[in-house]
């Protein structure tokens, strides 16, 4: 019998990319939405507001595996929004009802924002053992949920995502904003471009999350490319793919105060313990976005 999986946040930026990999692994996939999602073969949809009553959803579905990706992620607001506290409590309640109903495993979706911004050796990739010292309400809520889930009497994996790009991304984020400007023949204005980030396509991340969900690996796992690229390098890849490197304007805007200079994931657990060997193909995905803009 196929394992019954409940996926929250299935229509979101990341969650939508987990659907196909889970279905390809033969699960019975249940997903939740507050509205009426577009029909998609293989998914059993449920309408529910997780902030109001997640317990009813658990009673209805009775999943063996919970993949919890739902959260408040409104661009420009989610870092400091009071909704972070609401989602922390709702997520905790959902997980507890899941355990009470006999669920066996949880995959929670966390963030590199849980980690300390600065450490003694910040030129090295960030491992899961890095100090947890989030600087934002979003990071603090995610870190607290991770700690609460770890105390539950079921197997729990916690995926810490780094920087992502892909379909459905807010147009004001780095990759789509640069691609849109270049496609319109307008200057792509950026800061210095010096900060180095670990960016990965959401399709790659979705595959990794599905593999982690159905594995026996527990605890925090960085889900990222493991590759560092400066913002300038990302912008140049987009500009060259669009055939408009002349429109790139590095240094036209000020850098944000307190910008972390380097954030790159140590993906040893992802590669060795989980055995996830799929290449991220970051440059290929960036070029595809630039050409499609």
Give the separation between CA 205 and CA 171, rounded to whole angstroms.
20
Domain 4-165+201-226+265-277 coded CATH 3.40.50.720 = yes
Query: CA-based angle 260:261:266, to the nearest 5?
Result: 90
Query: What pLDDT is recorded for position 38?
Result: 66
> What is the tens place of the pLDDT at every residue in 208-244?
999 999 999 999 999 999 999 999 999 999 999 999 9
At residue 117's C-alpha, the angle toward residues 199 and 253, to 5°, is: 65
Nearest to residue 179, comparing CAs of 88, 240, 109, 267? 240
Q: Are 49 and 72 in contact (CB under 8 A)?
A: no
Q: Which stretches of the chain drop beneath a pLDDT of 50?
A: none
Residue spans of the domains in the chain: they are 4-165+201-226+265-277
- Quote the pLDDT of residue 1: 72
Q: What is this structure's pTM? A: 0.96
- Confidence (pLDDT) at 119: 78
């Amino acid at each position: 019998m196929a394992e019954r999986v409940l996926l929250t946040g299935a229509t979101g930026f990341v969650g939508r990319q987990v659907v196909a990999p889970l279905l390809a692994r033969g699960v019975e996939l249940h997903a939740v939405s507050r509205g009426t999602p577009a029909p998609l073969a293989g998914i059993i949809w449920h309408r529910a507001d997780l902030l109001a009553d997640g317990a009813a959803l658990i009673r209805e579905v009775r999943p063996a595996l919970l993949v919890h990706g739902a959260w408040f992620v409104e661009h420009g607001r989610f870092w400091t929004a009071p909704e972070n506290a609401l989602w922390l409590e709702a997520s905790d309640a959902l997980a507890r009802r899941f355990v009470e109903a006999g669920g066996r495993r949880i995959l929670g979706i966390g963030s590199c924002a849980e980690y300390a911004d600065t450490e003694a050796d910040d030129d090295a990739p960030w491992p899961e053992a890095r100090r947890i010292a989030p600087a934002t309400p979003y990071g603090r809520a995610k870190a607290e949920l991770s700690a609460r889930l770890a105390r539950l009497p079921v197997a729990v994996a916690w995926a810490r995502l780094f920087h992502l790009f892909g379909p459905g991304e807010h147009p004001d984020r780095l990759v789509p904003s640069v691609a849109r400007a270049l496609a319109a023949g307008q200057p792509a204005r950026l800061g210095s471009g010096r900060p180095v980030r670990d960016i990965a396509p959401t399709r790659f991340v979705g595959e990794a999350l599905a593999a982690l969900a159905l594995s026996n690996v527990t605890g925090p796992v960085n889900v990222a490319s493991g590759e560092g690229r400066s913002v300038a390098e990302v912008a140049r890849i987009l500009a060259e793919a669009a055939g408009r490197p002349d429109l790139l304007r590095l240094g036209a805007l000020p850098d944000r105060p307190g910008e972390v200079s380097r954030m790159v994931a140590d993906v040893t657990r992802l590669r060795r313990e989980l055995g996830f060997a799929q290449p991220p193909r970051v440059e290929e995905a960036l070029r595809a976005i630039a050409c499609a803009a």
